[in-house]
Amino acid sequence: MSLPPGVLGAATTHMNVSGQPSATPTRRGTELAMLGFVAGLVALALVVISENQTQSLNPNLLLYVGGYAVLCAGAHFAVRKFAPYADPLILPCAALLNGLSIAMLYRLDPVLALRAFNNGDSYSNAAPKQLIWTAVSLVVMTLTLWLVKDHRTLARYGYTFGLAGLFLLVLPGVLPCSISCAGGAKLWIILGPVSIQPGEFAKVLIIVFVAAFLVSKRDLFTIAGRKVLGLELPRLRDTGPLLIAWAVAIVVLMIEKELGASLMFFGTVLVMVYLATERSAWIWIGVVLFIGGATVAYKLFTHVQTRVTNWVDPFADAQNDGFQMVQSLFSLGSGGVAGSGWGAGHPELVPVIQSDFIVAAFGEELGFIGLAAMLLVYMLLAMRGLRSGLAVRDTFGKLLAGGLAFLLLWQVFVVVGGISKLIPQTGLTAPFLSAGGSSLIASYIMVALLLRISDAARRPQATRPKPQAPIAEANTVLVERPS
Amino acid sequence: MPELVLQLTRAGFLALLWLFVLAALRVVRSDLYAASGLRAAVPGVFRKGTKQPAKGKTARQLVVTQGALAGTRISLDGRPILVGRADDSTLVLDDDFASTRHARLSLRGSDWYVEDLGSTNGTYLDRAKVTAPLRVPLGAPIRIGKTVIELRT
């Protein structure tokens, strides 16, 4: 008789009737509130530093406070425009760490400049540079969000990214030492005043590649081989990719004289293989490979031996090789539980405090309480990344988010473990905290990718196919007339 | 800066830093319930203005309580139930007051909804005429012509 009205009615009234919220909250308001909190916290830190150091409010303070607040607002509006459903915590956590880094560099600049002056060296202030690098990083983040409208498009260029990443990883090692050597490692490309650390970008590219590779070759890794001691080992030929990653890590270690980059590279590949296959055998294989590689590296390379000796007993050679490590321990120790307060400690006694050892400066001035809060912020950031990975629907997105979140935590562990003598020290930078453009830009690219994935995870699907059987196929039940 | 103020700002900054962490954890907690959209019907959170069925019970069968087919039961499996005189209806009525395609019951989420398919004599839920899809509570009579049906567990 009149089927069409009913059908139309069902289609149009569906969302109203079902009682479920038709629009997922974007939670951008939460993000803005958290960013406002962060900006206030950083402003407070800068004011306290200025008061403690000069007993007055420095007029250039306004530049930092205002500039940082403007950058936060800009980042917020970029996310609002390009990833409206992104996670509300990722950006505030990154912004807090970045802001604290600017504050700490602002605090360190006068004392470092004074020391350089006394030694007859030149010193250019790190805080204004870091503020500029933050602006550049946020622009790069916005560009990434704008270019990568859907993270799955990245999977298409997996091999390209992989080659580019490998190229960047090895590039400083093969360049002549005059433009790539600094501080005993060949990690940089120094062109005039600008120095780039291509390894920082390489790790992001390689994660994209590994995620794409594992998604396309996933079956290969789950074929069961022989069972040894309750562990299902994969077949020997399937371990090829992991062995290649291991070999690359060793080669990088050899030519760049740097533990950190190869440790990042190998650890992240290993964990992503584990994420893709859910088989613990891979972890054990990786650990065995790592122990083998570490032993070989220790036997062959003197710089590795130095690091290990410093780790075992930094006080054995406290005035030369162990000096940095010893000063870092003193710095953390004098900070104690509650810290000395902004500007009241002497973190400048630690060599390269502004980049590799900046965590020691926070440990001294904010103490265990402050440093623990900062580590929790790192953990929250990684946790939100992992959560986005769990919530997103495609495998590539899951692996990418998992890899990025793990890389962040892994790097923090290696850095903080290094400065606190838990593990041998490496030359890695603390993400968002260390002075330096490459590290900051790479970290914000990672944030952009996590924002993109979380946006995809929370965005309501445009067309949700409604499982509704056509009337012709509707279940017909035999109805019997009661007697 | 006086020593006292220094100590106060030192403690205050650490307190605010931890306040940020706690605020972030609050956001995480609120997200646990709001993230998926599928979790809108959290147990214990009732929507305003609609009568809720008995807790945790969903309709399992449709029972004809009055009319020529009284006593008939149809088990519900989530597919829509079509009621009318047409042969392809789920519940075929032999009733002069019913239209060929009279009404439809369909499942949305965990609730059943009744809608009138433009019948001549109308469909009534309890005593209200069904003009737009209405949620059917358990045990509420739906009158179609001379037939009355209701949902049971």
Per-residue pLDDT of chain A (483 residues; tens, 9 = 90+): 444 443 333 333 333 333 444 467 788 999 999 999 999 999 999 999 988 888 878 788 899 999 999 999 999 999 999 999 999 999 999 999 999 999 999 999 999 999 889 988 888 888 999 999 999 999 999 999 999 999 999 999 988 998 898 888 888 877 777 777 776 677 778 777 777 888 889 889 989 998 988 888 776 666 656 666 666 667 666 677 778 877 887 787 777 777 777 888 888 888 998 888 877 888 888 899 889 888 888 888 888 888 888 898 888 888 888 898 999 999 999 999 999 989 888 998 888 888 889 999 999 999 999 999 999 999 999 999 999 999 888 889 999 999 999 999 999 999 999 999 999 888 888 999 998 889 999 999 999 999 999 999 888 876 555 555 566 666 666 777 766
Mutation target among B16, B17, B46 for the A interface, most CBs of A within 10 A:
B17
Q: Quick one: which H or E segment has residue B114? A: strand B111-116
Write the burial class of residue A456 (CB in 10 Å: 0-12 exposed, 13-18 middle, 19+ buried): buried
Contact A342 B71 (CB under 8 A): no
Q: How many other β-carbons are positioned within 10 Å of the β-carbon of residue A11? A: 11
Could you say which residues from 65 to 84 on chain B have a Cβ atom under 8 Å away from some Cβ of chain A?
Answer: 68-72, 74-75, 77, 79-82
- Asked if A52 and B132 come within 8 Å (Cβ–Cβ), the reply is no
Q: Do B16 and A44 touch (CB under 8 A)?
A: yes
- Closest approach of chain A CAs to the CA of B131, in angstroms? 10
Give me the total of CB pairs closer than 8 Å, taking one residue from chain A and one from chain B: 168
Contact A419, A375 (CB under 8 A): no
Instruction: State which residue of chain B sits closest to A473, comparing Cα positions.
Output: B88
* Predicted local confidence at residue B99, as pLDDT: 85
Q: Does B10 touch chain A (CB under 8 A)?
A: yes
pTM: 0.74
Q: Note whether B17 contacts A1, CB cutoff 8 Å.
A: no
Chain B residues with CB inside 8 Å of A378's CB?
none
- Reduced to 3 states, what is the DSSP secondary structure of residue B22? helix
B14, A474: Cβ pair inside 8 Å? no
**CA of A48 to nearest chain B CA: how many angstroms apart?**
7
- Segment B6-49, tens digit of pLDDT: 788 889 999 999 999 999 999 888 877 654 444 444 444 444 44
